[in-house]
Amino acid sequence: MATKAQVLYDFTAEPGNNELSVREGETITITNQSIGGGWIEAQNSRGEIGLVPEDYVEVRITDRPKGTLGHKARHYSHTYTQLRCNGNDPWAVFDNNASGGFSNNWAAQPEGTETGKNSSNAWGSTSYGHPQAYQGPGKPTDLSLFLHLHCLAFQIGEVGPVWEYPDSQLDCVVADPKKGSKMYGLKSYIEYQVSPNTTNRPVNHRYKHFDWLYERLLEKFGSAIPIPSLPDKQVTGRFEEEFIKMRMERLQAWMTRMCRHPVVANSEVFQLFLNYKDEKDWKTGKRKAEKDETVGVMIFSTIEPEGLPDLELLEVEQKCEQFSRFTKAMDDGVKDLLTVGHEHWKRCTGPLPKEYQRIGKALQNLSSVFTSSGYEGEATLTDAMTAAGKTYEEIAQMVAEQPKKDLHFLMETNNEYKGLLGCFPDTIGVHKAAIEKVKEADKLVATNKITTTEKVTMGKRASTMSYALQAEMNHFHSNRIYDYNRVMQLYLEQQVKFYETIAEKLRHAHSQFTTM
């Protein structure tokens, strides 16, 4: 019996690439579900057959083989739903509904009782693009598991808690996009070379691998560390040079940011991505990473603020409020700058150079009229006017090309920060939920829902989370200062050059007129 699927999003086929254009709402018949590489082969009602992105369709639930499509959702939403009716799980139960409100079932249990992933849980939904629930962690059976967790180490610096930074900064270069193909040339893709500075040995990755990494990092660290989205997935025109260049630049920026984060950079999954030895190593590593149980709020269980005093709830709350206010304000500021920058970009590449060009043409035109006068001895004037006209045409071109040299980087940096800042409401939400739960602790003790010991543990947990948040904010701030310093310098440097070049060109044009 044929497997039917419902199309969730419009998809336009890349010409000459064996793809099939489909429209949202359309029902298609899956003719080959084991194509792999994120694609399926399908037939539409007109009998046309071609490849369609797996993520773009929803296989009818009755026909869907279990476990094959579940984790393909394009965008994880940071919505945590409680899957087990377990009031005693301290990490799994921040219930952050999609509308942005917080209700939670924070509960406490004595320290040392760790939770693991309940592997029997099914994915909550099969509608891609809608908020996804992901499985809360279950109970571990082996305490030695701790040894395998990456430890989120931090120390107290001048500015308060800071992550522990490595002596040498990890970095990598994303370069050399190459078109590859598989399935006997049926499918084409772009592969990038990623070379970490630790080995200088390039590994190949497709966009979908970056996307896989992003999802792993989000799942694992999302509660504590803002993991910015990757550059947009784009389906049409993805083999065009301009698009590939831009995507590579953004993947580079994303990787650089991830490399800079000591916790992320040091994580097993990130190291796998940069250093896998061969296809087998990569596949084994992938499977292992997908089974990683220290994800979601579990990440906080890997933090041991040894020797540090527990923070008072009031302080935790104030810090959280401060970060919340700051990130909101910066988000507004960044968006404002982006809006202005975008308009300026349009003006600089549209009407403004056209106007300079018209000024240039008008001067040259007048000059050639003058040349036709038949009057002797005005060659100096007409030559000078022609030169001035050409200068304004050159200026037109400079104006049109300048944004790529300066505004582009200011925009890209702000775009990155917009992405980062967009992650904070969820991260902060997790904290706020924890704080609220601690506030309710007295009532919970009174109604025998938790013990006094558990209440103390809850306070400790909140304190630990606050240390982590502070370390993360300090990481954010120091990066922000570095990034804005750098991008503003670059911007202004290029602007200075731009105006100096124009002045120089005009000075030369000026010198060609005779002084009388």
Binding-site residue numbers are 206, 208, 247
The residue among 239 and 326 lying less far from a second copy, judged by its C-beta, is 326
Q: Does 398 bind a second copy (CB under 8 A)?
A: no
Q: Does 151 bind a second copy (CB under 8 A)?
A: no
Q: Does 486 bind a second copy (CB under 8 A)?
A: yes
From 260-268, 270-278, 455-463, 488-496, span contacting a second copy (CB under 8 A): 488-496
| Sheet strand arrangement including 203-206 | 172-182, 187-196, 203-206
Q: Does 400 bind a second copy (CB under 8 A)?
A: no
Q: Does 347 bind a second copy (CB under 8 A)?
A: yes
Q: Does 322 bind a second copy (CB under 8 A)?
A: yes
CB 296 within 8 A of CB 137: yes
The residue among 10 and 383 lying less far from a second copy, judged by its C-beta, is 383
- SS3 readout for 278-310: CHHHHHHHHHHHHCCCCCHHHHHHHCCCCCCCC
The footprint of a second copy on residues 74-133 (CB under 8 A) is none
d(CA 485, CA 351): 31
Q: Which of 143, 151, 159, 175 binds a second copy (CB under 8 A)?
A: 159
Q: Does 509 bind a second copy (CB under 8 A)?
A: yes
Q: Does 340 bind a second copy (CB under 8 A)?
A: yes
From 98-106, 271-279, 298-306, 474-482, span contacting a second copy (CB under 8 A): 474-482
CB neighbours of 516 closer than 8 A, spacing ≥ 6? Answer: none
CB neighbours of 300 closer than 8 A, spacing ≥ 6? Answer: 91, 223, 224, 461, 464, 465, 468
d(CA 261, CA 254): 11
Q: Does 477 bind a second copy (CB under 8 A)?
A: yes
Over the range 17-53, which residues count as b (16 or more CB within 10 Å of their CB) and which as e? ebbbebeeebebebeebebeebbbbbbbeeeeebbbb
**Between 368 and 387, how does the x/- string for binding to a second copy read (CB under 8 A)?**
-xx-xxxxxxx--x--xx--
d(CA 492, CA 484): 12
The residue among 385 and 458 lying less far from a second copy, judged by its C-beta, is 385
Query: DSSP states of 100-140 as a string?
Result: S-B--------TT---B--TTPPPS---TTSPPP-PPPB--
Q: Does 49 bind a second copy (CB under 8 A)?
A: no
Query: DSSP states of 425-446 as a string?
Result: HHHHHHHHHHHHHHHTHHHHHH
Report the first-to-last Cα separation within the chain, whole angstroms: 93
Q: Does 256 bind a second copy (CB under 8 A)?
A: no
From 36-44, 184-192, 232-240, 342-350, span contacting a second copy (CB under 8 A): 342-350
Query: DSSP states of 149-205 as a string?
Result: SPP--EEEETTEEEEPPPSS---EEEEEEEEEEETTTTEEEEEEEEEETTT---EEE
Q: Does 3 bind a second copy (CB under 8 A)?
A: no
The residue among 116 and 422 lying less far from a second copy, judged by its C-beta, is 422
The residue among 58 and 378 lying less far from a second copy, judged by its C-beta, is 378
Q: How many residues at the interface with a second copy, by CB under 8 A?
A: 67
The residue among 164 and 378 lying less far from a second copy, judged by its C-beta, is 378
Residues lying near a second copy in the complex (CB under 8 A) are found at 158-159, 322, 325-326, 329-330, 332-334, 336-337, 340-341, 343-344, 347, 351-352, 355, 358-359, 362-363, 365-366, 369-370, 372-378, 381, 384-385, 388, 473-474, 477-478, 480-482, 484-486, 488-489, 492-493, 495-496, 499-500, 502-503, 506-507, 509-510, 513-516
